[in-house]
Amino acid sequence: MNTAHVVDKDSRSLGITWESLEGGKYKFYFHYTELENLQPNQSRQFNTFLNGKLLDSLFSPLYLSDFTIYSYAEEIQPGKQKISLNSTPNSTSPPLINALEIYRVHNLLGQETNQNDVEAISEVKAVYELKNIEWQGDPCGPEDYMWDCLNCNYSANHSSRIVSLNLSGNNFTGPIPDALLERRKNGIDTNNWNSTNACPSNSCGKNNKSFVVPLAASLSGLLFVCFTIVVIIWRLKRKPHNKAAINLEGENVKSEDNNEADESYKNNKMERYTYSEIGKVTNNFQKVIGEGGFGKVYHGYLNGVEVAVKMLSSSSLQGHRQFHAELKLLLRVHHKNLTTLVGYCNDGSNVGLIYEYMAMGNLRSHLSGNRSSGIIILSWEQRLLIAIDAAQGLEYLHNGCKPPIIHRDVKSTNILLNEKFQAKLGDFGLSKVFGNNHTSTFAVNTTTTPVGMSASIAGTLGYLDPEYYTSNWLNEKSDVYSFGIVLLEIITARPVVATTKENKHIIEWVSSMIAKGDIKSIIDPRLKQGTVDINTVWKLIEISMACVSKTSNNRPTMSRVVTDLKECLTTNITRNNSSNVQTTPEYLTDSHEKYMASVEFSPTAR
């Protein structure tokens, strides 16, 4: 409260400037609490920008409730930096901020510790309650912060391995066991065991260069070390040796037309590839076709077929969680309007997903580009078909999977197009599985949940359900809201938040045009006059605005959205047939007609 800063009531903007001596990636944490008990006719709503780039939109703090919003890692250049909090046109009160934290991101060099070693050493700590030793983070990395009492072996191409554990100084006594001496054969040095290598009971020396296998001799030590070795061997033996095996513990998701994960592997012949094999598939990672917070996406050929390979950055802890979440889901859900997984890599610290290649890129690129840049301008009918495809994929996640799956990051860049402009919903990295009590999975308590954990904000700014800011819940209707934003993009081809001086959100802009009755100005100006049925435009706007209703109870279900979109397409086809209007480019006519024949105008089969 003491650090709160509010500008004058007449001001519409709050600016924070500073000088950055170093460029690089930075993360920003904004802390808010509404200090004024606003009246019903008053509001405080603002957008947040970093050097002109939108970080957060349409945020309204709650009265005397603490709330933290954080950004993804943002790249900035050395020099003067500015954060701007700008009031929206509907806001009656100026922006405020209570506290701001800025962190510079440092990438960790080297590989992570082998997962088997991590699990074994963590279990040792838990079972023997080694509370007097500070063990946090990755056991072996960074090397300067290696866990006390450990020695590790580092490799540029493989995961770090724990080679010794030194727990001397813990009052263990007795002979060194023969079984432990046998471990010399597995690469552990057992020569230096004299008491001079003992560590204090509250710490272990990191500067001891000899690889000391633990334990001042003792009967207790014998049992301890034997148990440690048994745990490691037992865990290694538990790892499945099937080429397609992976740990899939966690949410138990079932698709109505699929069995459990093991059966999914067998039925779909899901292949697991080594990192070297992925290198061959991508021609040594030559062509980058995309990039996200998880890492880069590469173009490649698998058995002569084009594929897209999403490789996880070794420094992305968030990416590791996304990778396993995405793999779990993709192995269990199958639908023609969801991206198809054809293989994966889980080779030490090198992990990746192999997808079918979507030749025409993402929807946003065709809405924001122009013909001179090689982008194909989508016809009105194509846009309706793409909307139906994406809606069917999302509806399947909500109703075709048990328990339902919430995507959480529906946006135009996550709708991918193949060579026939058929759309598939992609990027399941933020998806979550719901049980009977759907929304309880996403309860956020800002006083107890560490910033950056899974309970924090997920999704993309501008697409995020505004109810989240007041309820801290996400559910199926949150996906509906995000999809409504996509529909408005399809109609207008405008960015979600305009880069003009007003920085209007697409909902605000469309609402203002509707209020003026200026429907023609809403339509993407690149569409040729006479090729768009104004009645279907009105219908699509109605569907969109229903989806983006501020109250989730007023939003339709995705099943209803699919039905309404198909009715909209039917109206458009009938109108075109009666007037002989050509709405599809000639070079796409053949594939388009074949695709039209495949469009389902009845409920989607499960």
Binding residues: 310
CA 566/CA 543 separation, integer angstroms: 12
Residue 545 exposed, middle or buried by CB count within 10 Å (0-12, 13-18, 19+) = middle
The token duo for 304 is: 């002569």
Distance of CA 212 to the CA centre of its chain: 42
Pick out the residues of the known binding site for ATP: 310
**CA 214 to CA 419: how far, in whole Å?**
61
Structure tokens given for 283: 């021609």
For strand 13-20 and strand 79-87, is the pairing parallel, antiparallel, or unpaired? Answer: antiparallel
Does residue 75 contact residue 53 with C-beta atoms inside 8 Å? no
Active-site residue, 564 included: no
Residues 299/338, Cβ–Cβ less than 8 Å: no
Q: What angle in degrees, to the nearest 10, is found between the helix axes of 534-547 and 558-579?
A: 170
Amino acid at 534: I
At 238, the amino acid letter reads R
Give the pair of three-digit tokens for residue 312. 């996880």
- Continuous segment of H or E residues that includes residue 101: strand 99-104
* Beta strand spans in 145-239 (E): 150-153, 161-165
From residue 207, how far is each of 65, 97, 144 by CA, in Å? 48, 46, 10
Q: Which of 56, 138, 389, 409 is catalytic?
A: 409
Residue 550 DSSP code: S
- Residues serving a catalytic function are 409
